[in-house]
Structure formats: structure tokens, C-alpha cells
Amino acid sequence: MKLVTVAGPPSAGKTAVIIKTAVHLKKIYSKIGVVKFDCLSTSDHLLYKKAGISVVTGLSGNLCPDHYFVSNIDDCLQWAKKKGFDMLISESAGLCNRCSPHIKEIPAVCVIDCLAGAETPKKIGPMLRYADTVAVTKGDIVSQAEREVFSFRVRQANPKASVIFVNGITGQGAYDLSHAFSKATDVDSLEGAKLRFSVPAAICPYCVGEMTIGTDHQKGNVKKMVFKEVEEAAV
Amino acid sequence: MTELMNTPVAVIAEEHPYCMDYFRSVGVSIADTELTPREIIDALDNEALEDKGFSKEQISSHFIEFLKQAAMLKSTAERSVHSVTIVGGFDKSGTPENFELILKPGDIVCIVGTTGSGKSRLLADIECFAQKDTPTGRTVMVNGKILDGEDRFRLENKLVAQLSQNMNFVVDMSVGEFIAMHAASRMIPDIEATVEAVITCANELAGETFTYETALTQLSGGQSRALMIADTAMLSSSPIVLIDEIENAGVDRRKALELLVKEEKIVLMSTHDPILALMGNRRLAIHNGGVKKVIETDREELAGLEILQCVDEKLMQLRTMLRAGEKISLDMKKFFEL
Ligand SMILES: Nc1nc2c(ncn2[C@@H]2O[C@H](COP(=O)(O)OP(=O)(O)OP(=O)(O)O)[C@@H](O)[C@H]2O)c(=O)[nH]1
Ligand SMILES: Nc1ncnc2c1ncn2[C@@H]1O[C@H](COP(=O)(O)OP(=O)(O)OP(=O)(O)O)[C@@H](O)[C@H]1O
Ligand SMILES: [Mg+2]
Ligand SMILES: [Mg+2]
Ligand SMILES: [Zn+2]
Ligand SMILES: [Zn+2]
């Protein structure tokens, strides 16, 4: 059983990229399953079904999807094993930019789109910085110059990753990306496996349902903004 | 590399000017350039780093890796591709293609064929250095050699720059700022002169001129296309430029091709336009997923090209009249000397 984690900002093209990559992976792994982690709702399962890929969805509701991922990924792996899959791919929407689902020894892919602007790679946290491979989508609608600047910025944010442009619509580049997926080795269980970076608990009263605003209600792990003399914005 | 970590950043910056940029990208401002990377990183606050999703180990190891890669980028700027060889595979029915094609800098190759015939597939084969492992079974070599393993997927080996009708500038910056940013990411030493050259060149290709200060997103279709072509010719790291149907782009197509050839690019162009097709040195006719014919543009065809260009010029005159709000009530038969 092989596992690959795929993460990226909402609507970056994760599903499109996984589906196009699976076309090539199917030549090596006959049964591929996907587990989709999202927050409130998703219709990705319909896209996967249409592409002939088995899928199970986990909705984290009022938890950070990456936290939810950590507590459920081993169960997903066991489910996939029982189903007789050769490869399980997790798709998770990186919503808080601070957490990331990447696990040590498990191939980690980050999907980002180059419409997001040159500063984006800097803003995306561990999900990008701890990935082995970065798939950049939507290069078909921006200029060559922007693609080159964007890939330079990605490399600055994570010099160790390989960067591959993938077109989520035509599948161009998906073949190259499938090589990164097929680097996965067999895992039986994730018991004891380590995340690549911590996913800190956000334990404040608002995490557990508090709705009233005001200092009286801010207990536990509260962080306040600091308002220094307004500085000239650094360029 | 421990040495590097213990060298003052001011000294590192002499050889690697982008080293400051790295620290900026991880949100670290350097107050004193006499400090070493080790000292700077050690002084960071662990908790604040963790909050932002950083760790000291990662910043150090990424810093070293980034310098290595940036140096590599700089050296590949001088890399030369003398030839790209495509060895045929099989068409969609499994019939062997039996062709071997060697492309050299300055070549213009047109790709013709109906929708779904496999034009994009051929370009994708080149882009991923196919090694009999794509649906076509083709092999692609650079300078007569096969690239393998990790080398295939390295960014600095990216062979193909693309220009197509669907592409737009989306960043919110001025022309000058953005081209300077592109030049910086290519480690170009004289950024100012480069930016100036790119803008001048783009203005020669487009009708209406724009300046350093014009916002990218305010450029007209023709102006963006012209800037994309000039930037790709002069600043892109990729030796091959793939042009997807720019017939109606509102730029001087002949000048655009001349520029790309002058900059020693290998130009691949998928087109239905007879004038563009004849401007190529040769063309590949694709059918059913396979290259069926390699046609060299010969003297006979070139003689035809001159006439086509005269007709094109006449059409251009009519377009100019239209734009000027004139009536087109001349004797067409006479006008076209039919
Ligand atoms: N032009 C273009 N569109 C793309 C590309 N990749 C994906 N898209 C489009 O972008 C939209 C979002 O793609 P998805 O694959 O659903 O994105 P996602 O990251 O899975 O989104 P969530 O799961 O909702 O977070 C879809 O309309 C895709 O067709 C690409 O390379 N080029
Ligand atoms: N030799 C081949 N063997 C197998 N499949 C092929 C071969 N050549 C092309 N194909 C497949 O045929 C399909 C259509 O090819 P492609 O997209 O390259 O066409 P195109 O000429 O670019 O079409 P369009 O003009 O519409 O862009 C693709 O799925 C491609 O992978
Ligand atoms: Mg999705
Ligand atoms: Mg095509
Ligand atoms: Zn989180
Ligand atoms: Zn909370």
C-alpha cells in the first residue's frame, strides 16, 4: 500500500491534478483511491467518481482540516488496505496556511496556482516548505515571464522541492508529476509515523463554540495584535 | 558549507547578491551585515518562528540549498543548447513514424495538422524529454544526449517557453517593475539596461507604445503579446519557444520571428496561417498522432511567400483604413491587381 499526501490552497487545482496524474499512475497501480479532507463541504467526490477513482470524504467541520487529517489518516490507510488499493492519495485543502498534512517518509505534494501572484509562495507555510514536489497549475493563462518569476519564488520558499508545471485541464506535465507519486514505498500503518512539522492546537474558547466577542471571553491560548507606531510598510 | 554559515553576510552577498533576498523571503530583516547566517538564525525567536511555520534547521538548510540552486541558475544562463533531436515513435495506430529531426538555434519549425491530430502531444514530448515512455514512444535528446533521472524534471533544464493567445499578465505591477523582477530572478547583472532593452523591443513589435510605468494589466492585447514576445526572446531561460497560434495577435509577426531567431531560440509554431507557415524553415505535418511528413520550405514556396506578403500588406492597408474610420469603397480588383 502506497500513500501520497497532496495539499494546496482552495481551488488551486488539486483535484484536477490528481485526476490527470492518476491516468498515468493507473498503468503502474491498478487500484487507486482518494481521500478528500475538507472543512464544510465538497463536491470533489463527484469529479473523482466521474474519473473512475474510488473516493471517501472527511469533513472536519469546526476543526482545522489538517488536524482532522492527522487523527484520521491511519484509518483511511486501513480502509484503503481493506479495499485492496495499491495507492491511496490524500487531497486536503490547506485552509489555515499554518498546518500541513505532510508526513515524514511519505511523498508530499503541494499544488499551487500561478494566478495567485508572485508573493504567494512566501505566504504559504509548511504545506509548501515541507513538500517534496510542488505542482504549479494554471500556467496556461499567465505569461511565460510570470511562470518563470513564480517558479523562482517557489524555489526560494522551498529550494529542496522539484517544481513541475501541470495543466489541470489538458494534463500537460501530469506524466512528469506521476514520477513523484511513484516514489512512494509501501506502508502498512502510520502508527508512530511523524508529521514533517507541528500542527499547533488552537485552543481558545472560540475553538469550542464561544460566540461572544470581548476580553472576558478570551481565555486560554489567546494572542493579541501589537499596535506599534504605524511603521512605513517595508518594501 | 559550515564555512558559508560562518561567513559574514556582507561577504556572502558579494558573490551571491540574492542571499539578502532569501532572508527577506523568510521574513528576516538583517540589521547588521557583519553577522554570519549562523548568528542571524540563532538569534531568531523559536516561538515566533514556530508560529509562522518556520524552524531554524529548515531556514539554515534551505538557505544553503537556495544559494546552490541560484548559483546553478546563473551558470545555466550561459548554458548552450546546440541541438534538440527528436526520434520518431508510433502514431495512434501503432505505425512507426520513421523520422529523426535535429533542431538548431535559429530554426523555425511549423507544426500543422487538424484538431486532435497530436500537435500538443509532440510539444509535450519535447517538454518532458520523452524517452520512449510517453504514449507516442518518441525519444528527445539535447545536444545529442539523453537526459535522465532527476535531471529531466529540474527547472533549470526547462526547455520550452510558451506563448499563446490565452495568456495574460495577471500581476498587479508596472511593466518596468515586473520585467526587472524577471531579470532579477534570472540573475541578470545589469537589470536596468535589460529592462530598457525589453521595453524598447516590445514597442517595436506593437503599434501603440507603452512605457516603464504602464501597468501590466492595462496593456492592450497586442501590447501584452508584444511584451511577452520581447521578454521571452530576451529573458527566458528556455532555448525553445513554442508559439501557439498568434495569427491575430496584433503584433508584427515577421519582426517577432526575426527577434526570436536573433536571440538564438528554436521556434516551434503551431499555425494555420500560410504566411507564418512559409516563414518557417520547415514544417511537420501531423496526422493520427504521428509526424507524416517533414516539409522543407523550398525556393518555389518562398516565391509564393512574397506574393502572399504583398496581399497581406494590402489587407493591412484596408485594416488601417477601417481603423481610421474611412469607407472601403475602392476597386478591389484593381487594388489587389487581380
Ligand atoms: N486554466 C486552468 N484551469 C485549471 C487548471 N487546473 C485546474 N483548473 C481549474 O481550476 C478550478 C479548480 O480546480 P480543482 O481541481 O477543483 O481545485 P481544488 O484545489 O481541488 O479545489 P478544492 O478541492 O475545492 O480546494 C477548476 O475549474 C479547474 O478546471 C489549469 O492548469 N489551468
Ligand atoms: N502517437 C500517439 N499515440 C497515442 N496517442 C496519441 C498520439 N499522439 C497524440 N495522442 C493523443 O491524442 C490526443 C489528441 O492529441 P493533441 O491534444 O496533441 O491534439 P492537437 O493536435 O494538439 O489538437 P488541437 O488542435 O485541438 O489542440 C491526446 O490525448 C494525445 O495524448
Ligand atoms: Mg478538490
Ligand atoms: Mg493542442
Ligand atoms: Zn490549521
Ligand atoms: Zn480558537
Measured from the Cα of B90, ligand 2's closest atom is: 1
Instruction: Check residue A235 and give its pLDDT.
Output: 46
Distance CA B64, CA B296 (A): 49
CA angle A99, A101, A102 (to 5 degrees): 115
Strand extents, DSSP E, chain A? 2-8, 32-38, 54-59, 87-93, 108-113, 133-137, 162-165
Strand partners, A142: B168
DSSP string, B314-325: HHHHHHHHHHTT
Residues of A in contact with B170 (CB under 8 A): 115, 117, 141-142, 146
Distance CA A88, CA B102 (A): 42
Percent of chain B with pLDDT over 90: 39
CA atoms within 13 A on the CB side of A111: 30
Distance CA A38, CA B287 (A): 44
Within 8 A by CB and 6+ apart from A8, the residues are A14, A93, A94, A110, A111, A112, A127
* Rounded mean pLDDT, B30-41: 90
Inter-chain CB proximity B161 and A144 less than 8 Å: yes
Rg value, chain A, Cα:
19
* Rounded mean pLDDT, B62-90: 82
CA angle A205, A209, A213 (to 5 degrees): 65
CA angle B145, A135, B186 (to 5 degrees): 65
From A46, A90, A137, the mutation candidate for ligand 1 (largest count of ligand atoms within 8 A of CB) is A137
Q: pLDDT band at residue B81, thresholds of 50, 70 and 90?
A: confident
Place of cell 472601403: B328
Run of H or E including A181: helix A174-181
Distance CA B27, CA B40 (A): 12
Nearest CB to B69 within list A148, A155, A157: A155
Instruction: Check residue A233 and give its pLDDT.
Output: 52
Place of cell 500503518: A189
Task: Answer yes or no: are the C-beta atoms of B160 and B122 closer than 8 Å.
Answer: no
* Rounded mean pLDDT, B168-172: 90
Instruction: Check residue B42 and give its pLDDT.
Output: 92
* Rounded mean pLDDT, A182-192: 90
Residues of B in contact with A170 (CB under 8 A): 120
pTM: 0.83
Instruction: Check residue A208 and give its pLDDT.
Output: 63
CA distance B194 to chain A (A): 14
Within 8 A by CB and 6+ apart from B11, the residues are none
Distance CA B226, CA B104 (A): 24
Q: Of the spans A37-41, A63-67, A204-208, B107-111, which averages the highest pLDDT?
A: B107-111
Instruction: List Cβ<8 Å contacts ≥24 apart for B127-130.
Output: B127/A172, B127/A173, B127/B159, B127/B160, B128/A173, B128/A175, B128/A176, B128/B152, B129/B157, B129/B159, B130/B89
* Rounded mean pLDDT, B147-159: 66
Percent of chain A with pLDDT over 90: 52
- Inform me whether the pLDDT recorded for A229 exceeds 70: no
- Inform me whether the pLDDT recorded for B211 exceeds 70: yes
Considering only alpha carbons, which residue of chain B is nearest residue A162?
B154
Task: Answer yes or no: are the C-beta atoms of B278 and B109 closer than 8 Å.
Answer: no
Percentage helix, strand, coil, to 5, in chain A?
Answer: 35, 20, 45
- Inform me whether the pLDDT recorded for A3 exceeds 90: yes
- Inform me whether the pLDDT recorded for A151 exceeds 70: yes
Q: pLDDT band at residue A207, thresholds of 50, 70 and 90?
A: low
Instruction: Check residue B178 and give its pLDDT.
Output: 95
* Rounded mean pLDDT, B155-167: 77
Go through the domains of chain A in sequence order and give each one's CATH number. Answer: 2-181 (3.40.50.300)
Q: Which of A201-210, B63-72, B302-311 has the lowest mean pLDDT?
A: A201-210
Q: pLDDT band at residue B312, thresholds of 50, 70 and 90?
A: confident
Nearest to B122 by CA among B106, B143, B145, B139: B139
CA distance A5 to chain B (A): 18
How much is the mean pLDDT over chain A? 87
Size of interface A-B (CB pairs under 8 A): 119
Go through the domains of chain B in sequence order and give each one's CATH number. Answer: 2-76 (no CATH), 105-119+155-297 (3.40.50.300), 304-338 (no CATH)
Amino acid identity for residue B244 in this structure: D
* pLDDT tens, residue by residue, A44-95: 999 999 999 999 998 888 777 888 888 899 999 999 999 999 999 999 988 7
